[in-house]
């Protein structure tokens, strides 16, 4: 489902209408489930990735709130950022980095076969 598709427009209208129809305390759950549905519309296997992302960041946020010292809060924040940006790099830029290294090796006369 692309952002500029009719399917997304219908999905968005339904999500917004349900959001305002639900009691305040259930809205966060509605948005979470709607986000998961939207994310899974590309491939259902991605649910494992986004649930893992949610669990790690929720746990880190919970520990940030419970921590009393600034240092411990920064450690949990750093862990959350490294996890999130690491996943982003791996799934978005890893193939680009691999191809760039292979092309650089080809220019230097090497033929690396990186997985």
* pTM: predicted TM-score of the whole model, two decimal places: 0.73
C-beta of residue 9 within 8 angstroms of C-beta of residue 3 = no
The one-digit pLDDT tens for each residue of the chain (115 residues) are 788 889 999 999 999 999 999 999 999 999 999 999 998 988 888 899 999 999 999 999 999 999 999 999 999 999 999 999 999 998 888 888 888 888 888 888 777 676 6
The C-alpha atoms of residue 89 and residue 13 are separated, in whole angstroms, by: 32
CA distance 32 to 54: 10
Separation of alpha carbons 54 and 85, rounded Å: 13
Grouping H, G, I as helix, E, B as strand and the rest as coil, residue 75 is helix
């Amino acid at each position: 489902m692309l952002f500029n598709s009719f399917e997304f427009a219908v999905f968005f209208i339904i999500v917004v209408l349900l959001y305002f129809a639900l009691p305040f305390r259930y809205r966060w759950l509605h948005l979470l489930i709607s986000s998961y549905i939207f994310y899974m519309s590309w491939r259902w296997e991605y649910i494992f990735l986004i649930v893992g992302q949610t669990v790690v960041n929720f746990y880190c946020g919970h520990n940030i709130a419970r921590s009393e010292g600034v240092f411990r809060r920064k450690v949990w924040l750093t862990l959350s950022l490294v996890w999130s940006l690491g996943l982003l790099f791996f799934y978005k830029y890893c193939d680009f980095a691999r191809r760039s290294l292979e092309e650089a090796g080809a220019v230097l006369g090497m033929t690396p076969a990186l997985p």
